[in-house]
Each structure stands twice: as C-alpha cells, then as structure tokens.
Amino acid sequence: MPEILSQQEIDSLLSGISTGQIEAAEVPTEPKKPEREAITFDFRLPHRLSKNQLRTFQAVHENFAETLASYLVSRLQTTVTINVLSVDQLFYSEFVLSIASPSCLYVFRILESDALAVLEFSPQLVLAMVEHLMGGVAEGEKNARQITKIEQSIVKGIVQRALADIQRAWKTVAELSFKLERLESEGDFVQIAPASEIVMVVSFEVVIGVQKYLMNLCFPTFALEDVLAKLNLQHFSGLSVVKGESDWSEPIIRQLGSTKVQVTGLLGETSLTLGELLELEEGDIVRTNIPISDEIQMQIGAKTRVWGRPGVSKGHMAVKVTRTVRNQSTGE
C-alpha cells in the first residue's frame, strides 16, 4: 500500500529539489504496471470443430452405433455392442500414422461435396464377422492378415449396410449420400485429404461376444463446411426465443376441439348395507346425499370438471353448468 505524504513532507521535498539538495530522479514514482501475459496460439492446429459441434456429431454416431449393432445381432446370431469411444479432430497425417498394417479401409464418396471419407475396420473384426457369418463361433484372438477376395465379398454387404446406417443417422444434421468406392489395405494408399488438413475421426469399440475390436470413421472437415455452417446457424437460433408455436398449436387445438368425450353426471351417492341391497324391489326409493335443489358433479375421466343443475331441454335430460374447476391440482 503506497505511503501518503503529509503537506510538510511535500513542501520539504519541493524545497530540496529547488535548492539542488535532492535529485529529481530520487522522487518516488508510481510503480509500473506489469505487462499482460501473452497467450500463445498454435497456428499448426486450428480447432475447426467447436465443442458443441463435436457433441452433436457424437450423438449422431451413437444413433448409428445402436442401429448397426441391432443389424449385426441378427446377421451374426450373437451378442453385439458398439460404443462411441471418442470424436476427435486431428491432422490427416496423424490419422494415417495410427492405421495398422494391414487394415481394412473402405473408401466412400460423399456425393454432395464430391469428397472422400474412410470407414476403417480392423482385420480382426472382419475375420470375426466372416467366421460368424459362415457358422463359426470366432473364439480367441485373431491375427491380423490380408483379407482375401472371398472374405471381401462376404463382408461387403455388411459394409454397405453400415454406410446406409451412417447416412440415415446423418439425416438429423444434413442430407448426405454415401457411395462405396474401393477397399484399401494400407493407409498410405488412401489419400482423401492433404497431410496438413484437419479431419474428424470417430472411434468405435465393437464387442462381439466377449471379444473387442476397433472401428473408425474419418471425415475431412473441408467436406463438411456446409454442415458446420448449418450447425452454427442452428446453435445461434437455438439461443433465441422459440417463435411460431402457434403454427402447430392452433391445428392441434382445432383437432382436439372436435374430439368427443364422455361426460357423467353424478346425481348422488348413498350407503346401503348388504341386507338393504338384497331387499331392494322395483318402486323403492333410495335417498342420496345431494338435495334436489343442490348442484351435481359432472365428471370427465373419473374427475370432476364442472358443477351444474339437472333439468330438461327440448324434451331431453340436460345439465346447466353453474361453475367450473379452476384449480385441477386440488383434486376438486
């Protein structure tokens, strides 16, 4: 905390400076404010996907995983579970380095942007599916090896179904069409983007029986520019107040207005013993707890909604509504 000088001390300092006894540099000054700390920015790794977008893509691919798992259960005749492990953005060169050799890389085209993407199955996963499809049990860990032409033909139907399920899941964010192009076994032969391009990689864990396998999806972000712009627009529009509720509420109200409901008029209640009930005969009068001049309850769905007075209107029995229930939560 700075020391406050008295007027006498200030006068003595000024007189000392004027007579040369004190140098001006010796006069205390305010300490300099520390400079603001600069935060470094990594221009080599720009984040093109926001956290909200990553969460959206995770939800999309969780729906895909659930759908594909249900299909594999029926095809492989065993328990299948598919979980989304992560949704990451990284350089395409890093994705290529993470690909095992050999691998099963199914390259498919995104028709709307004319870009390529990759669906990666581990060879162990493909071999396990082939063995189950051929009636085996696929016990034990499989060794990675090249997939033969016959095995490729057997699994091709599952791959095409997986692409159809991905396309169906993506409809919640964009109308995209996927077409299978080719199969590659080495990551170096799959050039869907420049090495420095940011890609979105979705990793899955596929559990068949008790064995666990890996599956990956790789989308170049430049192929998703329209989708990302749409997601940004939806995010900002979601922050504003929702408008246009009457566009759908009015037709629903009109439709409900013509719906018929059964209304029951409760003329009265009373208590009888079992003996009195057995002795009842035609012409007997049963006295209720509601006077003839009092209101009766009108019930809809076993709940009292209005009160009224019974009478006759145009030759028919009728009830004139006298009051309604304002507070439904009270149970009146």
Q: Which two tokens stand for residue 289?
A: 């707890």
Specify if 323 maps to a domain. no
DSSP state of 154: H
Amino acid at 58: Q
Give the DSSP letter string of 53-97: HHHHHHHHHHHHHHHHHHHHHHHHTS-EEEEEEEEEEEEHHHHHH
The model's pLDDT over 83-133, given as tens digits with 9 standing for 90+, comes to 999 999 989 999 999 888 888 999 999 988 889 999 999 999 999 999 888
Cis peptide before 2 (omega within 30 of 0): no
The total number of structural domains in the chain stands at: 1
Separation between Cα atoms, residue 156 and residue 148, nearest integer Å:
12
In a domain, residue 92? The reply is yes
Determine, yes or no, domain membership for 278.
Answer: no
Q: How are beta strands 115-121 and 211-220 bridged, if at all?
A: antiparallel
Summarised one tens digit per residue, pLDDT across range 42-74 is 555 556 778 888 888 999 999 999 999 999 999
What range defines the domain where residue 151 resides?
51-237
What does the alpha-carbon distance between residue 21 and residue 157 come to, in Å, rounded to a whole number? Answer: 98
CA 189 → CA 96, 104, 204, 252, 301, distances in Å? 10, 12, 23, 56, 69
CATH number of the domain at 233, please: 3.40.1550.10
Averages of pLDDT over runs of 10 residues in the chain (332 residues) are 67 69 54 55 62 88 93 90 92 90 91 90 91 79 82 91 92 88 88 89 92 92 82 52 51 74 81 85 83 80 82 84 66 46
Does residue 260 fall inside a structural domain? no
Q: Is 222 exposed, middle or buried (0-12, 13-18, 19+ CB in 10 A)?
A: middle
pLDDT for residue 236: 44
46, part of any domain: no
Q: Which residue has the tokens 């709940």?
A: 303
Question: Is residue 39, in this structure, part of any structural domain at all?
Answer: no
Task: Provide the pLDDT for residue 40.
Answer: 56
In a domain, 258, yes or no: no
Tell the burial category of 120 from Cβ atoms under 10 Å away from its Cβ (0-12, 13-18, 19+).
buried
Specify the 3-state DSSP secondary structure of 168: helix
Q: Is residue 281 part of a domain?
A: no
